[in-house]
Amino acid sequence: MVKGVIFDMDGLMFDTERLWDTFWEPCCRKLGLPQPGPEFMASGRGLAGENLLRHLAEFYPQIDPKVMLKEVYAIAAERFTRPVPCKPGLHELLEWLKKHHIPCIVASSSPRHMIENNLKNDHVDGYFQGIVCGDDVEHSKPDPDIFLKAAAQLGLPAKDCLVLEDSFNGVRAGHAAGAVTVMVPDLAQPDEEIKQLYTCCCHDLLEVRQLLEEGKL
């Protein structure tokens, strides 16, 4: 059985991936850029730091990616001052982990203040022993750094941790970290590559709790 749980946030704990997708359109409109297409959205989920800047530069070479990122983060920061919907089973899973004294931590590519706002607005901040955000590591997902740092903060090797992720880049990072990696798909269903990387795929966080109860994780 796993000894600690590492939660992604966007699309895993909260229904925010759909919101993030809506932020790019006003960002591009304000900066006079073409509207983003499906490939831009899909390949950019879960990225942060230099990986996200490279992603922006690839699709929008005509502008400094830092300018684009600053604008979209400003839009997001305003929206995330208000509550966002949590994903099914989040509260039930957190209560089960608390009851069984299994520590958890958030490892998300989002800025720290946005993570803190979402946790506080949904009254779940007290369940977590800490937060690791994209700015805390040199290399963001799909590199494993964020999950390795989160496991270290729990005082556990990554192999004893369960990583919960919804994005392709997150699953890649969890696998690279050597963690037990479970995908709970949000906007994209796993393809053949991703199916080879995760331990299992769950419909929602209630199913994750069930597998833990049954000792299958």
- List residues with catalytic annotation: 8, 10
Q: Amino acid letter at 123?
A: H
Phi, psi of 86, deg, nearest 5: -90, 160
For residue 129, give the nearest of 103, 159, 162, 166 by alpha carbon.
103
Q: Are 217 and 102 in contact (CB under 8 A)?
A: no
The DSSP output letter for 32 is: T
Name the token pair of 165.
Answer: 């992720």
Q: Which H, E and C letters describe 113-156, residue by residue?
A: HHHHHHHHHCCCHHHCCCEEEHHHCCCCCCCCHHHHHHHHHHCC
Structure tokens, 5: 């749980």
What the block records as the tokens of 52 is 């996200």
3-class SS of residue 179: coil
The stretches of 32-188 forming alpha helices (DSSP H) are 38-44, 49-59, 65-79, 90-99, 112-121, 145-154, 168-177
**Residue 161: φ, ψ to 5°:** -110, 145
